[in-house]
């Protein structure tokens, strides 16, 4: 069974130790950091299933970290539970409006925190199953919410442009997309880009996909289609 990974952000060492002990005891993989800067750097190098974020952090505070994470398409899906010594309605409202999923005030019960974590993770799993539009075709899996692609259960690293083209084609197997249609869909109408640029992107995409590249077919003189 997959062990969920949780990032805990707090500048109080005793809180981090308490979190680490209780979450690890429940089977979670835990990473603890002390600052907002460390949190932002951490989510760029590692995938986390949930973040516990203290609001009162030095320099970059928790609300700013929350705002930055929720405004980034690559991290917006990660549930955030705010941890705060402030119980004022305004602080809680601001955090929730910025996109935080839940909050808990200090001092807190570890059992209550664990229950909140489980609830947030359940909600996220249901949302993924309902809303992400995951595409599975034989040994190829595309998860648009997390912008991940797997071929034979192996994660494939794609550029943003390559992912956008693949997801566009895969949504309509057998549909022929002209190069201009691809440009309009991923860049917007009137964007200055050449047909050759699309061909280069497709070539790179096929190379990165390896065996999965066989699903992308060239329609001579027109464009490309996805073979379902």
97 and 126 inside one domain: yes
In a shared domain, residues 139 and 214: yes
Q: Are 124 and 140 in the same domain? A: no
- In the prediction, which pLDDT does 179 show? 86
pTM score: 0.58
Predicted local confidence at residue 145, as pLDDT? 78
Q: What is the pLDDT of residue 189?
A: 43
Give the pLDDT of residue 220.
86
Q: Are residues 93 and 178 located together in one domain of the fold?
A: no
Question: Which of 101, 130, 159 is at the close of a domain?
Answer: 130
Q: Are residues 178 and 74 in the same domain?
A: no
200 lies in which domain range?
A: 135-226
Domain end residue (candidates: 69, 98, 130): 130
Residues 154 and 92 placed together within one structural domain of the fold: no
Count up the domains in the chain and report the number: 2
In this structure, is the dihedral angle defined by the CA atoms of residues 18, 15, 105 and 70, taken in order, positive or negative? Answer: negative
**Can you give the pLDDT at residue 40?**
94
Query: What's the CATH code of the domain at 81?
Result: 3.40.50.2300
pLDDT mean for each 10 residues of the chain (228 residues): 85 94 95 95 89 92 92 84 77 84 89 93 71 80 87 89 90 86 68 69 94 92 87
Is 24 in the same domain as 126? Answer: yes
Q: Are residues 154 and 204 in the same domain?
A: yes
Same domain? 81 vs 171: no
Q: What is the pLDDT of residue 193?
A: 55
Judgement on whether residues 176 and 203 belong to the same structural domain of the protein: yes
Does 53 lie in the same domain as 26? yes
What CATH number is associated with residue 205? 1.10.10.10
- Which whole-number Å values give the CA distances from 176 to 135, 214, 220, in the listed order? 18, 16, 11
Q: 84 and 66 share a domain?
A: yes
End-to-end CA distance of the chain: 30
Q: What is the model's pLDDT at position 188?
A: 53
Determine the pLDDT at residue 90: 76
Residue 52: closest CA among 20, 87, 91: 20
Which of these three, 80, 110, 130, is where a domain ends? 130
């Amino acid at each position: 069974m997959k062990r969920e990974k949780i990032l805990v952000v707090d500048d109080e060492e005793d809180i981090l130790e308490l979190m680490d002990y209780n979450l690890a005891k429940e089977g979670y993989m835990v990473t603890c950091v002390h600052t907002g800067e460390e949190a932002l750097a951490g989510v760029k190098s590692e995938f986390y299933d949930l973040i516990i974020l203290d609001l009162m952090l030095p320099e970059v505070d928790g609300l700013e970290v929350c705002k930055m994470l929720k405004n980034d398409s690559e991290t917006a899906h990660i549930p955030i539970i705010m941890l705060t010594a402030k119980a004022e309605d305004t602080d809680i409202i601001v955090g929730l409006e910025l996109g935080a999923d839940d909050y808990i005030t200090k001092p807190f019960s570890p059992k209550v925190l664990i229950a909140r974590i489980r609830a947030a993770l359940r909600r996220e799993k249901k949302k993924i199953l309902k809303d992400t539009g995951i595409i599975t075709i034989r040994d190829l899996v595309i998860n648009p919410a997390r912008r991940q692609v797997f071929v034979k259960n192996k994660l494939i690293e794609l550029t943003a442009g390559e992912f956008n083209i693949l997801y566009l084609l895969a949504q309509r197997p057998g549909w022929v997309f002209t190069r201009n249609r691809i440009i309009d869909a991923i860049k917007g109408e009137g964007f200055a880009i050449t047909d050759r640029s699309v061909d280069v992107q497709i070539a790179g995409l096929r190379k990165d996909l390896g065996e999965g590249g066989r699903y992308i077919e060239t329609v001579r003189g027109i464009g490309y289609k996805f073979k379902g």
